[in-house]
Chains A and B, each alone.
Chain A
Protein backbone atom coordinates (compact mmCIF):
# COMPACT_ATOMS: atom_id res chain seq x y z
CA UNK A 1 0.00 0.00 0.00
CA UNK A 2 1.32 3.44 -0.83
CA UNK A 3 1.75 6.08 1.80
CA UNK A 4 -0.88 8.32 0.17
CA UNK A 5 -3.50 5.62 0.25
CA UNK A 6 -2.97 4.93 3.89
CA UNK A 7 -3.16 8.61 4.76
CA UNK A 8 -6.59 8.85 3.11
CA UNK A 9 -7.85 5.98 5.16
CA UNK A 10 -6.58 7.41 8.38
CA UNK A 11 -8.11 10.81 7.81
CA UNK A 12 -11.56 9.41 7.12
CA UNK A 13 -11.28 7.21 10.14
CA UNK A 14 -10.21 9.99 12.44
CA UNK A 15 -13.03 12.32 11.51
CA UNK A 16 -15.66 9.75 12.35
CA UNK A 17 -13.86 8.76 15.45
CA UNK A 18 -13.17 12.11 17.01
CA UNK A 19 -16.77 13.33 16.97
CA UNK A 20 -18.09 10.43 18.97
CA UNK A 21 -15.02 10.23 21.09
CA UNK A 22 -15.50 13.68 22.56
CA UNK A 23 -18.85 12.56 23.98
CA UNK A 24 -17.83 9.27 25.45
CA UNK A 25 -14.22 9.58 26.38
CA UNK A 26 -13.33 10.61 29.84
CA UNK A 27 -9.67 10.92 30.63
CA UNK A 28 -9.56 12.80 33.87
CA UNK A 29 -8.01 10.14 35.99
CA UNK A 30 -5.75 7.16 35.53
CA UNK A 31 -8.29 4.99 37.33
CA UNK A 32 -11.06 5.82 34.92
CA UNK A 33 -11.74 3.86 31.80
CA UNK A 34 -11.51 4.74 28.13
CA UNK A 35 -13.91 3.20 25.68
CA UNK A 36 -15.01 4.21 22.25
CA UNK A 37 -18.25 2.72 21.00
CA UNK A 38 -17.56 -0.41 22.96
CA UNK A 39 -13.88 -0.75 22.02
CA UNK A 40 -11.09 -0.52 24.54
CA UNK A 41 -7.49 0.33 23.79
CA UNK A 42 -4.61 -1.99 24.61
CA UNK A 43 -1.32 -0.18 24.96
CA UNK A 44 2.20 -1.26 25.74
CA UNK A 45 5.06 1.23 25.93
CA UNK A 46 8.69 0.82 24.91
CA UNK A 47 10.76 3.48 26.59
CA UNK A 48 14.40 4.10 25.66
CA UNK A 49 16.48 5.95 28.21
CA UNK A 50 20.07 7.09 27.92
CA UNK A 51 22.03 6.07 30.96
CA UNK A 52 23.87 8.70 32.98
CA UNK A 53 27.34 7.24 32.53
CA UNK A 54 30.53 9.21 31.87
CA UNK A 55 31.46 7.13 28.85
CA UNK A 56 29.83 5.05 26.17
CA UNK A 57 28.47 1.55 26.52
CA UNK A 58 31.41 -0.14 24.81
CA UNK A 59 34.18 2.45 24.67
CA UNK A 60 35.80 5.26 26.60
CA UNK A 61 34.73 8.36 24.66
CA UNK A 62 32.44 10.71 26.59
CA UNK A 63 28.69 10.23 26.84
CA UNK A 64 27.88 13.93 26.70
CA UNK A 65 25.00 15.82 25.10
CA UNK A 66 25.52 19.01 23.13
CA UNK A 67 29.22 18.79 22.20
CA UNK A 68 30.64 19.77 18.79
CA UNK A 69 29.75 17.10 16.19
CA UNK A 70 32.10 14.11 15.95
CA UNK A 71 34.30 15.08 18.86
CA UNK A 72 33.25 12.23 21.18
CA UNK A 73 34.53 9.51 18.89
CA UNK A 74 36.94 6.59 19.10
CA UNK A 75 37.59 3.52 16.94
CA UNK A 76 34.76 1.57 18.58
CA UNK A 77 32.22 4.39 18.27
CA UNK A 78 33.03 4.80 14.59
CA UNK A 79 33.01 1.05 13.94
CA UNK A 80 36.52 1.21 12.51
CA UNK A 81 38.01 -2.06 11.27
CA UNK A 82 39.66 -3.94 14.14
CA UNK A 83 37.88 -2.08 16.94
CA UNK A 84 36.35 -4.21 19.71
CA UNK A 85 33.66 -3.40 22.29
CA UNK A 86 34.33 -3.60 26.03
CA UNK A 87 31.32 -3.31 28.32
CA UNK A 88 30.99 -0.35 30.71
CA UNK A 89 30.51 -1.64 34.26
CA UNK A 90 28.62 1.46 35.34
CA UNK A 91 26.09 1.01 32.54
CA UNK A 92 25.43 -2.51 33.80
CA UNK A 93 25.06 -1.22 37.34
CA UNK A 94 22.61 1.52 36.30
CA UNK A 95 20.56 -0.99 34.31
CA UNK A 96 20.46 -3.23 37.38
CA UNK A 97 19.50 -0.27 39.54
CA UNK A 98 16.55 0.73 37.40
CA UNK A 99 15.52 -2.89 36.91
CA UNK A 100 15.49 -3.49 40.66
CA UNK A 101 13.56 -0.24 41.17
CA UNK A 102 10.95 -1.73 38.83
CA UNK A 103 10.93 -4.97 40.83
CA UNK A 104 12.54 -6.88 37.98
CA UNK A 105 14.61 -10.03 38.27
CA UNK A 106 18.24 -9.40 37.32
CA UNK A 107 19.52 -12.39 35.39
CA UNK A 108 22.42 -13.76 33.34
CA UNK A 109 22.39 -11.88 30.06
CA UNK A 110 24.07 -11.79 26.67
CA UNK A 111 24.46 -9.35 23.80
CA UNK A 112 23.44 -9.92 20.20
CA UNK A 113 24.01 -8.14 16.93
CA UNK A 114 21.00 -6.65 15.17
CA UNK A 115 22.11 -6.30 11.56
CA UNK A 116 20.80 -3.48 9.41
CA UNK A 117 22.22 -0.77 7.22
CA UNK A 118 21.69 2.87 8.10
CA UNK A 119 24.27 5.63 7.86
CA UNK A 120 24.00 6.62 11.54
CA UNK A 121 24.63 2.98 12.62
CA UNK A 122 28.42 2.75 12.29
CA UNK A 123 29.03 -1.01 12.21
CA UNK A 124 25.81 -1.69 10.29
CA UNK A 125 24.76 -3.65 13.36
CA UNK A 126 23.49 -2.54 16.72
CA UNK A 127 24.75 -4.37 19.77
CA UNK A 128 21.68 -5.06 21.85
CA UNK A 129 20.48 -7.59 24.37
CA UNK A 130 18.03 -9.80 22.54
CA UNK A 131 16.84 -13.14 23.87
CA UNK A 132 18.64 -12.85 27.20
CA UNK A 133 18.02 -9.34 28.66
CA UNK A 134 19.52 -8.28 31.98
CA UNK A 135 16.16 -7.46 33.66
CA UNK A 136 12.84 -9.26 33.30
CA UNK A 137 9.43 -9.56 34.95
CA UNK A 138 8.89 -6.41 36.96
CA UNK A 139 6.10 -3.94 37.43
CA UNK A 140 5.30 -0.30 37.92
CA UNK A 141 2.43 0.85 40.15
CA UNK A 142 0.53 3.94 39.05
CA UNK A 143 -1.49 6.18 41.36
CA UNK A 144 -4.97 4.70 41.57
CA UNK A 145 -3.84 1.13 42.24
CA UNK A 146 -3.02 0.32 38.63
CA UNK A 147 -0.13 -2.05 38.07
CA UNK A 148 1.62 -2.14 34.69
CA UNK A 149 3.82 -5.17 34.10
CA UNK A 150 7.39 -4.73 32.91
CA UNK A 151 8.30 -7.47 30.48
CA UNK A 152 11.99 -6.64 30.23
CA UNK A 153 14.61 -3.94 30.44
CA UNK A 154 17.69 -4.50 28.30
CA UNK A 155 20.94 -2.75 27.45
CA UNK A 156 21.76 -1.56 23.95
CA UNK A 157 23.78 1.13 22.20
CA UNK A 158 22.38 4.33 20.72
CA UNK A 159 22.88 5.39 17.10
CA UNK A 160 24.46 8.56 15.74
CA UNK A 161 22.37 11.48 14.54
CA UNK A 162 21.45 12.24 10.94
CA UNK A 163 20.62 15.73 9.77
CA UNK A 164 18.77 15.84 6.47
CA UNK A 165 19.81 18.87 4.49
CA UNK A 166 17.90 20.59 1.70
CA UNK A 167 14.42 19.77 0.50
CA UNK A 168 11.63 20.86 2.77
CA UNK A 169 12.08 21.28 6.47
CA UNK A 170 14.66 18.70 7.35
CA UNK A 171 12.49 15.72 6.42
CA UNK A 172 14.14 12.66 4.92
CA UNK A 173 12.08 12.73 1.78
CA UNK A 174 13.26 15.25 -0.75
CA UNK A 175 16.49 16.08 1.09
CA UNK A 176 19.63 16.74 -0.95
CA UNK A 177 22.01 14.93 1.37
CA UNK A 178 22.45 13.98 4.99
CA UNK A 179 25.16 14.78 7.53
CA UNK A 180 26.06 12.33 10.27
CA UNK A 181 27.33 13.07 13.77
CA UNK A 182 28.50 10.05 15.76
CA UNK A 183 28.74 11.69 19.19
CA UNK A 184 25.61 9.86 20.30
CA UNK A 185 26.63 6.56 18.73
CA UNK A 186 27.39 4.03 21.44
CA UNK A 187 25.71 5.95 24.24
CA UNK A 188 24.25 3.38 26.62
CA UNK A 189 20.50 2.91 26.44
CA UNK A 190 18.12 0.79 28.40
CA UNK A 191 14.93 -0.16 26.63
CA UNK A 192 12.12 -0.74 29.11
CA UNK A 193 9.29 -2.75 27.60
CA UNK A 194 5.95 -2.76 29.41
CA UNK A 195 3.34 -5.44 29.10
CA UNK A 196 0.19 -4.41 27.21
CA UNK A 197 -1.53 -3.49 30.47
CA UNK A 198 -2.35 0.14 29.72
CA UNK A 199 -5.97 0.90 28.87
CA UNK A 200 -6.30 4.70 28.82
CA UNK A 201 -4.26 7.70 27.62
CA UNK A 202 -4.01 8.94 31.20
CA UNK A 203 -2.56 5.65 32.37
CA UNK A 204 0.02 5.92 29.61
CA UNK A 205 0.90 9.44 30.68
CA UNK A 206 1.02 8.42 34.33
CA UNK A 207 3.28 5.47 33.41
CA UNK A 208 5.74 7.69 31.58
CA UNK A 209 5.74 10.29 34.38
CA UNK A 210 6.21 7.70 37.08
CA UNK A 211 8.93 5.89 35.14
CA UNK A 212 10.70 9.19 34.58
CA UNK A 213 10.53 9.96 38.31
CA UNK A 214 11.99 6.56 39.16
CA UNK A 215 14.82 6.89 36.63
CA UNK A 216 15.77 10.27 38.03
CA UNK A 217 15.43 9.09 41.62
CA UNK A 218 17.80 6.16 41.15
CA UNK A 219 20.24 8.27 39.12
CA UNK A 220 19.98 6.01 36.07
CA UNK A 221 19.17 8.79 33.63
CA UNK A 222 18.30 12.46 33.49
CA UNK A 223 15.31 11.25 31.42
CA UNK A 224 14.79 14.48 29.52
CA UNK A 225 12.27 13.86 26.77
CA UNK A 226 13.02 17.24 25.20
CA UNK A 227 16.71 16.33 24.80
CA UNK A 228 15.92 12.82 23.65
CA UNK A 229 17.47 11.11 26.64
CA UNK A 230 14.06 9.48 27.17
CA UNK A 231 12.12 8.33 24.11
CA UNK A 232 8.75 6.65 24.04
CA UNK A 233 7.31 4.29 21.43
CA UNK A 234 3.73 3.10 21.91
CA UNK A 235 2.23 -0.17 20.72
CA UNK A 236 -1.47 0.48 20.30
CA UNK A 237 -4.31 -1.85 19.39
CA UNK A 238 -8.05 -1.86 20.08
CA UNK A 239 -10.48 -4.66 20.83
CA UNK A 240 -13.91 -5.36 22.20
CA UNK A 241 -13.49 -6.22 25.90
CA UNK A 242 -12.73 -9.89 26.40
CA UNK A 243 -11.78 -10.38 22.75
CA UNK A 244 -8.34 -11.37 21.52
CA UNK A 245 -5.75 -8.62 21.16
CA UNK A 246 -6.18 -6.67 17.93
CA UNK A 247 -3.45 -5.98 15.36
CA UNK A 248 -1.13 -3.40 16.81
CA UNK A 249 0.63 -0.41 15.36
CA UNK A 250 3.85 0.98 16.78
CA UNK A 251 3.83 4.76 17.19
CA UNK A 252 7.21 6.50 17.07
CA UNK A 253 8.39 10.08 17.64
CA UNK A 254 6.35 10.75 20.77
CA UNK A 255 8.39 13.47 22.43
CA UNK A 256 6.50 14.60 25.52
CA UNK A 257 4.24 13.18 28.19
CA UNK A 258 1.35 15.14 26.71
CA UNK A 259 2.04 13.73 23.24
CA UNK A 260 1.93 10.21 24.66
CA UNK A 261 -1.69 10.74 25.61
CA UNK A 262 -2.61 12.52 22.40
CA UNK A 263 -0.87 10.06 20.10
CA UNK A 264 -2.38 6.91 21.54
CA UNK A 265 -5.82 8.49 21.79
CA UNK A 266 -5.64 9.50 18.14
CA UNK A 267 -4.33 6.10 17.12
CA UNK A 268 -7.00 4.17 19.01
CA UNK A 269 -9.69 6.34 17.46
CA UNK A 270 -8.21 5.78 14.02
CA UNK A 271 -8.21 2.03 14.51
CA UNK A 272 -11.80 1.94 15.83
CA UNK A 273 -12.85 4.01 12.84
CA UNK A 274 -11.20 1.58 10.46
CA UNK A 275 -12.70 -1.48 12.11
CA UNK A 276 -16.16 0.09 12.04
CA UNK A 277 -15.69 0.89 8.39
CA UNK A 278 -15.09 -2.82 7.87
CA UNK A 279 -11.39 -2.45 7.23
CA UNK A 280 -8.65 -4.40 8.91
CA UNK A 281 -5.73 -2.91 10.76
CA UNK A 282 -2.37 -3.44 9.13
CA UNK A 283 0.58 -4.06 11.42
CA UNK A 284 2.92 -1.16 10.80
CA UNK A 285 5.15 1.46 12.28
CA UNK A 286 3.56 4.91 12.39
CA UNK A 287 5.03 8.33 12.99
CA UNK A 288 3.34 10.79 15.38
CA UNK A 289 3.17 14.27 13.90
CA UNK A 290 2.92 16.79 16.72
CA UNK A 291 1.76 19.55 14.37
CA UNK A 292 -1.23 17.91 12.75
CA UNK A 293 -1.98 15.70 15.74
CA UNK A 294 -2.03 12.53 13.67
CA UNK A 295 -0.03 9.37 13.11
CA UNK A 296 1.29 8.55 9.64
CA UNK A 297 2.53 5.34 8.07
CA UNK A 298 6.33 5.07 8.40
CA UNK A 299 6.82 1.50 7.22
CA UNK A 300 4.83 -1.66 7.21
CA UNK A 301 6.01 -4.72 9.11
CA UNK A 302 5.51 -6.94 6.08
CA UNK A 303 8.61 -5.65 4.39
CA UNK A 304 10.56 -5.24 7.59
CA UNK A 305 14.29 -5.89 7.45
CA UNK A 306 15.52 -9.33 8.42
CA UNK A 307 17.80 -8.39 11.31
CA UNK A 308 19.66 -11.71 11.45
CA UNK A 309 20.22 -11.54 15.20
CA UNK A 310 23.05 -13.67 16.53
CA UNK A 311 25.09 -13.62 19.69
CA UNK A 312 27.82 -10.95 19.69
CA UNK A 313 31.09 -12.92 19.53
CA UNK A 314 33.16 -9.92 20.68
CA UNK A 315 31.42 -9.76 24.07
CA UNK A 316 31.04 -12.31 26.83
CA UNK A 317 28.19 -13.26 29.14
CA UNK A 318 27.17 -10.80 31.85
CA UNK A 319 26.29 -12.78 34.94
CA UNK A 320 26.24 -10.48 37.97
CA UNK A 321 26.91 -12.38 41.16
CA UNK A 322 24.15 -12.25 43.79
CA UNK A 323 26.33 -10.18 46.07
CA UNK A 324 26.60 -7.41 43.47
CA UNK A 325 22.86 -7.48 42.85
CA UNK A 326 22.14 -7.24 46.58
CA UNK A 327 24.59 -4.40 46.97
CA UNK A 328 22.80 -2.47 44.23
CA UNK A 329 19.41 -3.28 45.71
CA UNK A 330 20.47 -2.19 49.18
CA UNK A 331 21.75 1.11 47.84
CA UNK A 332 18.48 1.98 46.11
CA UNK A 333 17.01 5.25 47.38
CA UNK A 334 13.41 5.50 48.59
CA UNK A 335 11.35 5.54 45.38
CA UNK A 336 8.92 8.30 44.42
CA UNK A 337 5.76 6.36 45.32
CA UNK A 338 7.00 5.66 48.84
CA UNK A 339 8.28 9.20 49.16
CA UNK A 340 4.86 10.56 48.28
CA UNK A 341 3.25 8.37 50.91
CA UNK A 342 5.80 9.51 53.47
CA UNK A 343 5.33 13.18 52.62
CA UNK A 344 1.55 12.81 52.62
CA UNK A 345 1.60 11.23 56.06
CA UNK A 346 3.80 13.98 57.42
CA UNK A 347 1.71 16.80 56.01
CA UNK A 348 -1.73 15.31 56.47
CA UNK A 349 -2.49 15.16 52.76
CA UNK A 350 -3.37 12.31 50.42
CA UNK A 351 -0.55 10.80 48.37
CA UNK A 352 -2.02 12.01 45.09
CA UNK A 353 -2.61 15.61 46.25
CA UNK A 354 -1.17 18.09 43.80
CA UNK A 355 1.34 19.60 46.22
CA UNK A 356 2.61 16.13 47.09
CA UNK A 357 3.02 15.19 43.43
CA UNK A 358 4.71 18.45 42.49
CA UNK A 359 7.10 18.61 45.42
CA UNK A 360 8.06 14.95 45.15
CA UNK A 361 8.57 15.24 41.41
CA UNK A 362 10.95 18.13 42.01
CA UNK A 363 12.79 15.99 44.51
CA UNK A 364 12.06 18.52 47.29
CA UNK A 365 10.23 16.13 49.54
CA UNK A 366 13.37 15.42 51.51
CA UNK A 367 13.72 19.14 52.07
CA UNK A 368 10.20 19.37 53.49
CA UNK A 369 11.13 16.52 55.80
CA UNK A 370 14.21 18.42 56.87
CA UNK A 371 12.15 21.51 57.65
CA UNK A 372 9.87 19.43 59.84
CA UNK A 373 12.92 17.90 61.48
CA UNK A 374 14.18 21.39 62.25
CA UNK A 375 11.00 22.08 64.19
CA UNK A 376 8.98 23.58 61.36
CA UNK A 377 5.40 22.87 60.44
CA UNK A 378 5.33 20.30 57.64
CA UNK A 379 1.99 21.42 56.20
CA UNK A 380 3.03 25.06 55.93
CA UNK A 381 6.44 24.03 54.59
CA UNK A 382 4.83 21.90 51.87
CA UNK A 383 2.74 24.85 50.69
CA UNK A 384 5.71 27.23 50.71
CA UNK A 385 8.01 24.82 48.89
CA UNK A 386 5.42 24.09 46.23
CA UNK A 387 4.67 27.78 45.67
CA UNK A 388 8.05 29.43 46.07
CA UNK A 389 10.72 26.77 45.33
CA UNK A 390 9.96 25.94 41.69
CA UNK A 391 13.40 27.15 40.63
CA UNK A 392 15.29 25.62 43.53
CA UNK A 393 15.91 22.05 42.39
CA UNK A 394 16.19 19.14 44.78
CA UNK A 395 18.65 20.89 47.09
CA UNK A 396 17.13 24.30 47.88
CA UNK A 397 19.58 27.01 48.93
CA UNK A 398 17.43 28.14 51.83
CA UNK A 399 18.55 26.42 55.05
CA UNK A 400 15.77 24.18 56.32
CA UNK A 401 16.02 25.87 59.73
CA UNK A 402 15.14 29.23 58.19
CA UNK A 403 11.96 27.92 56.61
CA UNK A 404 11.19 26.04 59.81
CA UNK A 405 11.35 29.26 61.79
CA UNK A 406 9.03 31.02 59.34
CA UNK A 407 6.41 28.29 59.65
CA UNK A 408 6.66 28.47 63.44
CA UNK A 409 5.96 32.19 63.37
CA UNK A 410 2.89 31.48 61.28
CA UNK A 411 1.66 28.72 63.51
CA UNK A 412 2.19 30.84 66.61
CA UNK A 413 0.14 33.59 65.05
CA UNK A 414 3.05 35.98 64.86
CA UNK A 415 2.74 36.27 61.09
CA UNK A 416 -0.34 36.06 58.91
CA UNK A 417 -0.30 33.99 55.73
CA UNK A 418 0.10 37.13 53.61
CA UNK A 419 2.97 38.41 55.70
CA UNK A 420 4.63 35.03 55.70
CA UNK A 421 4.58 34.99 51.92
CA UNK A 422 6.37 38.30 51.76
CA UNK A 423 8.98 37.24 54.29
CA UNK A 424 9.49 33.99 52.38
CA UNK A 425 10.02 35.85 49.12
CA UNK A 426 12.88 37.73 50.74
CA UNK A 427 14.35 34.60 52.29
CA UNK A 428 14.28 32.86 48.90
CA UNK A 429 15.81 35.87 47.15
CA UNK A 430 18.67 35.91 49.67
CA UNK A 431 19.12 32.18 49.83
CA UNK A 432 18.12 32.20 53.51
CA UNK A 433 17.52 34.59 56.37
CA UNK A 434 16.02 34.97 59.82
CA UNK A 435 12.24 35.22 59.47
CA UNK A 436 11.91 37.17 62.73
CA UNK A 437 14.38 39.83 61.65
CA UNK A 438 12.88 40.16 58.17
CA UNK A 439 9.40 40.47 59.66
CA UNK A 440 10.68 43.26 61.94
CA UNK A 441 12.26 45.24 59.13
CA UNK A 442 9.01 44.91 57.22
CA UNK A 443 7.09 46.17 60.29
CA UNK A 444 5.15 42.95 60.63
CA UNK A 445 4.98 43.26 64.41
CA UNK A 446 2.43 41.21 66.18
CA UNK A 447 -0.44 43.65 66.77
CA UNK A 448 -0.48 45.66 70.00
CA UNK A 449 -3.00 44.17 72.45
CA UNK A 450 -4.71 47.45 73.30
CA UNK A 451 -5.20 48.19 69.59
CA UNK A 452 -6.72 44.77 69.11
CA UNK A 453 -8.93 45.21 72.18
CA UNK A 454 -10.40 48.41 70.87
CA UNK A 455 -11.12 46.72 67.52
CA UNK A 456 -12.91 43.91 69.36
CA UNK A 457 -14.95 46.43 71.32
CA UNK A 458 -15.85 48.23 68.08
CA UNK A 459 -17.03 44.95 66.58
CA UNK A 460 -19.21 44.19 69.63
CA UNK A 461 -20.78 47.64 69.46
CA UNK A 462 -21.38 47.33 65.72
CA UNK A 463 -23.02 43.87 65.94
CA UNK A 464 -25.07 43.64 69.14
CA UNK A 465 -27.12 40.70 67.86
CA UNK A 466 -24.08 38.57 67.17
CA UNK A 467 -22.63 39.51 70.56
CA UNK A 468 -25.87 38.51 72.29
CA UNK A 469 -25.89 35.11 70.58
CA UNK A 470 -22.25 34.54 71.41
CA UNK A 471 -22.91 35.37 75.07
CA UNK A 472 -25.83 32.94 74.99
CA UNK A 473 -23.34 30.19 74.15
CA UNK A 474 -23.66 30.11 70.40
CA UNK A 475 -19.96 29.67 69.47
CA UNK A 476 -20.63 30.08 65.76
CA UNK A 477 -21.72 33.64 66.32
CA UNK A 478 -18.07 34.52 67.00
CA UNK A 479 -17.40 34.22 63.27
CA UNK A 480 -19.11 37.48 62.36
CA UNK A 481 -17.25 39.32 65.12
CA UNK A 482 -13.84 37.87 64.24
CA UNK A 483 -14.50 38.64 60.57
CA UNK A 484 -15.18 42.25 61.40
CA UNK A 485 -11.92 42.55 63.35
CA UNK A 486 -9.96 40.93 60.54
CA UNK A 487 -11.48 43.37 58.12
CA UNK A 488 -10.71 46.33 60.33
CA UNK A 489 -7.12 45.19 60.72
CA UNK A 490 -6.61 44.54 57.04
CA UNK A 491 -6.03 40.93 57.84
CA UNK A 492 -3.15 41.68 60.19
CA UNK A 493 -4.96 40.43 63.26
CA UNK A 494 -4.46 36.89 64.47
CA UNK A 495 -7.80 35.09 64.43
CA UNK A 496 -6.96 32.99 67.46
CA UNK A 497 -6.07 36.04 69.53
CA UNK A 498 -9.37 37.74 68.58
CA UNK A 499 -11.38 34.70 69.62
CA UNK A 500 -9.49 34.58 72.90
CA UNK A 501 -10.34 38.27 73.60
CA UNK A 502 -14.03 37.68 72.82
CA UNK A 503 -14.07 34.78 75.26
CA UNK A 504 -12.42 36.93 77.96
CA UNK A 505 -15.05 39.67 77.47
CA UNK A 506 -17.90 37.16 77.63
CA UNK A 507 -16.59 35.39 80.72
CA UNK A 508 -15.90 38.62 82.61
CA UNK A 509 -19.12 40.37 81.77
Chain B
Protein backbone atom coordinates (compact mmCIF):
# COMPACT_ATOMS: atom_id res chain seq x y z
CA UNK B 1 0.00 0.00 0.00
CA UNK B 2 2.96 2.28 0.50
CA UNK B 3 3.45 2.33 -3.27
CA UNK B 4 0.25 4.23 -3.93
CA UNK B 5 0.97 7.71 -5.18
CA UNK B 6 -1.48 10.25 -3.87
CA UNK B 7 -2.19 13.88 -4.42
CA UNK B 8 -3.21 15.07 -1.00
CA UNK B 9 -4.24 18.62 -0.37
CA UNK B 10 -3.35 18.55 3.29
CA UNK B 11 -0.58 16.53 4.84
CA UNK B 12 -2.22 16.20 8.22
CA UNK B 13 -2.35 12.47 7.81
CA UNK B 14 -0.42 10.20 5.47
CA UNK B 15 -1.83 7.25 3.53
CA UNK B 16 0.50 5.04 5.57
CA UNK B 17 -1.03 6.30 8.79
CA UNK B 18 -4.55 5.75 7.45
CA UNK B 19 -3.60 2.23 6.38
CA UNK B 20 -2.24 1.53 9.84
CA UNK B 21 -5.38 2.88 11.50
CA UNK B 22 -7.59 0.79 9.21
CA UNK B 23 -5.63 -2.30 10.12
CA UNK B 24 -5.93 -1.54 13.84
CA UNK B 25 -9.69 -1.17 13.37
CA UNK B 26 -9.88 -4.38 11.30
CA UNK B 27 -11.12 -2.64 8.16
CA UNK B 28 -9.66 -3.25 4.74
CA UNK B 29 -9.49 -0.43 2.21
CA UNK B 30 -8.99 -0.62 -1.52
CA UNK B 31 -6.40 1.75 -2.98
CA UNK B 32 -9.17 4.11 -4.03
CA UNK B 33 -10.78 3.97 -0.62
CA UNK B 34 -7.45 4.62 1.04
CA UNK B 35 -6.92 7.68 -1.12
CA UNK B 36 -10.39 8.98 -0.41
CA UNK B 37 -10.12 8.28 3.31
CA UNK B 38 -6.77 10.04 3.50
CA UNK B 39 -8.25 13.05 1.75
CA UNK B 40 -11.33 13.18 3.96
CA UNK B 41 -9.49 12.63 7.22
CA UNK B 42 -6.95 15.32 6.30
CA UNK B 43 -9.77 17.70 5.54
CA UNK B 44 -11.37 16.99 8.90
CA UNK B 45 -8.12 17.32 10.80
CA UNK B 46 -7.64 20.71 9.11
CA UNK B 47 -10.96 21.81 10.54
CA UNK B 48 -10.08 20.38 13.93
CA UNK B 49 -6.85 22.38 14.02
CA UNK B 50 -8.89 25.27 15.45
CA UNK B 51 -8.20 24.01 18.95
CA UNK B 52 -4.43 24.06 18.41
CA UNK B 53 -4.45 27.76 19.24
CA UNK B 54 -6.06 27.25 22.66
CA UNK B 55 -3.91 27.40 25.76
CA UNK B 56 -5.08 24.33 27.64
CA UNK B 57 -2.28 24.03 30.18
CA UNK B 58 -3.62 22.99 33.53
CA UNK B 59 -7.12 22.28 32.22
CA UNK B 60 -8.40 19.02 33.66
CA UNK B 61 -9.60 16.61 30.97
CA UNK B 62 -13.37 15.98 31.14
CA UNK B 63 -14.16 12.33 30.54
CA UNK B 64 -17.67 12.23 32.01
CA UNK B 65 -20.45 14.83 31.92
CA UNK B 66 -21.45 14.16 35.53
CA UNK B 67 -18.99 13.96 38.41
CA UNK B 68 -20.48 10.94 40.15
CA UNK B 69 -18.36 8.34 41.98
CA UNK B 70 -18.61 4.97 43.67
CA UNK B 71 -21.45 3.37 41.77
CA UNK B 72 -21.39 -0.28 42.75
CA UNK B 73 -23.75 -3.21 42.89
CA UNK B 74 -23.96 -5.93 45.52
CA UNK B 75 -22.34 -9.28 44.75
CA UNK B 76 -25.62 -11.06 44.07
CA UNK B 77 -26.31 -13.54 41.27
CA UNK B 78 -29.06 -12.89 38.74
CA UNK B 79 -30.49 -15.06 36.00
CA UNK B 80 -28.19 -15.95 33.13
CA UNK B 81 -29.08 -15.86 29.46
CA UNK B 82 -30.25 -19.10 27.90
CA UNK B 83 -27.30 -20.72 26.19
CA UNK B 84 -29.33 -22.26 23.38
CA UNK B 85 -31.01 -18.96 22.56
CA UNK B 86 -27.69 -17.15 22.52
CA UNK B 87 -25.85 -19.78 20.48
CA UNK B 88 -28.73 -19.96 17.99
CA UNK B 89 -28.09 -16.28 17.25
CA UNK B 90 -24.34 -16.83 16.80
CA UNK B 91 -22.82 -16.98 13.31
CA UNK B 92 -21.34 -20.40 14.18
CA UNK B 93 -21.53 -22.59 17.25
CA UNK B 94 -20.52 -26.10 18.19
CA UNK B 95 -20.48 -28.18 21.33
CA UNK B 96 -22.02 -25.45 23.48
CA UNK B 97 -19.46 -22.94 22.34
CA UNK B 98 -18.93 -20.22 19.76
CA UNK B 99 -16.95 -21.39 16.78
CA UNK B 100 -14.38 -19.22 14.99
CA UNK B 101 -11.85 -19.94 12.24
CA UNK B 102 -8.29 -20.75 13.34
CA UNK B 103 -6.83 -18.03 15.51
CA UNK B 104 -3.75 -16.95 13.61
CA UNK B 105 -2.53 -13.60 12.44
CA UNK B 106 -3.67 -11.90 15.64
CA UNK B 107 -0.28 -11.55 17.22
CA UNK B 108 1.06 -8.88 14.94
Contacts and interface: CB of A to CB of B under 8 A. Distances in A.
Interface string B62-96: 01100011111111111011010011000000111
Contacts of B63: 311, 313
Chain A's interface size range is 35 or more
A112 to B, nearest CB: 10
B9 interface: no
A299 B64 CA distance: 36
A68 B81 contact: no
Contacts of B75: 53-55, 88-91
A73 B78 CA distance: 10
A320 B70 contact: yes
Interface stretch (A178-186, A359-367, A464-472): A178-186
A92 interface: yes
B102 interface: yes
Given A86-B73, A92-B72, A118-B106, A178 B99 contact: yes
Contacts of B103: 118-119, 162, 164, 172, 175, 178
Contacts of A308: 24
B47 interface: no
Given A180-B97, A306-B24, A60 B78 contact: yes
Given A62-B77, A173-B104, A317 B70 contact: yes
B72 to A, nearest CB: 4
A175 to B, nearest CB: 5
A73 B81 contact: yes
Contacts of B72: 86-89, 92, 318
A176 B100 CA distance: 9
Contacts of A177: 99-102
Given A88-B75, A89-B72, A303-B108, A61 B80 contact: yes
B70 A72 contact: no
B57 to A, nearest CB: 19
B69 A176 contact: no
A88 B73 contact: yes
B99 A70 contact: no
Interface in A51-78: 53-55, 60-62, 68-75, 78
Nearest to A164: B103
B73 A60 contact: yes
Nearest to B80: A61
A163 B96 CA distance: 12
A173 B106 CA distance: 12
Contacts of B77: 54-55, 60-62
The prevalent SS among residues of B at the interface is loop
Interface residues of B, number: 34
B99 A176 contact: no
A446 interface: no
A313 B86 CA distance: 27
B90 to A, nearest CB: 10
The prevalent SS among residues of A at the interface is loop
Nearest to B83: A70
Given A54-B76, A176-B102, A316 B70 contact: yes
Contact of A316 (B68, B76, B81, B102): B68
Given A70-B97, A73-B83, A306-B24, A55 B76 contact: yes
B56 to A, nearest CB: 17
B107 interface: yes
A272 B7 CA distance: 51
A177 B97 CA distance: 12
Contacts of B83: 68, 70-71, 73
B71 A316 contact: yes
B108 A299 contact: yes
A436 B86 CA distance: 64
A475 interface: no
A90 B75 CA distance: 6
A163 B100 CA distance: 10
A387 interface: no
Contacts of A317: 68-70
Interface of A: 53-55, 60-62, 68-75, 78, 86-92, 117-119, 162-164, 167, 172-182, 298-299, 303, 305-306, 308, 311, 313, 315-320
12 contacts: A69-B95, A73-B83, A87-B72, A89-B72, A89-B74, A118-B103, A177-B101, A178-B103, A313-B64, A316-B69, A317-B70, A318-B70
Given A90-B74, A179-B94, A179-B98, 14 more contacts: A60-B77, A61-B80, A73-B80, A75-B81, A78-B81, A87-B72, A88-B73, A117-B106, A118-B106, A164-B103, A178-B99, A181-B97, A303-B108, A319-B70
- Nearest 4 A-B pairs (CB), nearest first? A90-B75, A60-B78, A89-B72, A179-B97
